[in-house]
Amino acid sequence: RGLLDQTLVIWGGEFGRTPMNEARNGSTFLGRDHHPNCFTMLLAGGGIKPGMVYGETDEFGYNVVRDKVSVRDLQQTILHQLGLDAHRFGFPYLGLNQRLIGPTEEAQLVKEILS
């Protein structure tokens, strides 16, 4: 029906979880810590190539080994697909105009995932 032609669906979180159990400070409860270096995002529709996987971690899911995408790169790509210039799109915070991609020009558009 074409519903995803102009709709961008984004699912994910701002961090993954460490691949190993951790016990801290003598705790008897094992848990998995925040892991901002490796996380999963799902993007569908809105000009994103369907049925592909981009990026890869090592066999433990601890380090990125191929096609690393930073949060700023992801934000740059999402804003691009929404028709917004990431370098001009900002919001007021503490009297300054802040950008989602940060103050530098280092965010990259992830062209490989675009259809």
pTM as predicted: 0.80
How many other C-beta atoms lie within 10 A of the C-beta of residue 86? 20
How many other C-beta atoms lie within 10 A of the C-beta of residue 101? 22
The pairing of strands 64-66 and 90-93 is unpaired
pLDDT value, residue 47: 94
43-82: per-residue pLDDT in tens? 999 999 999 999 999 998 888 999 999 888 999 999 999 9
Q: Does residue 9 register a pLDDT over 90?
A: yes
pLDDT value, residue 96: 85
pLDDT value, residue 82: 92
Q: Is the dihedral of CA 65, 68, 70, 75 positive or negative?
A: negative
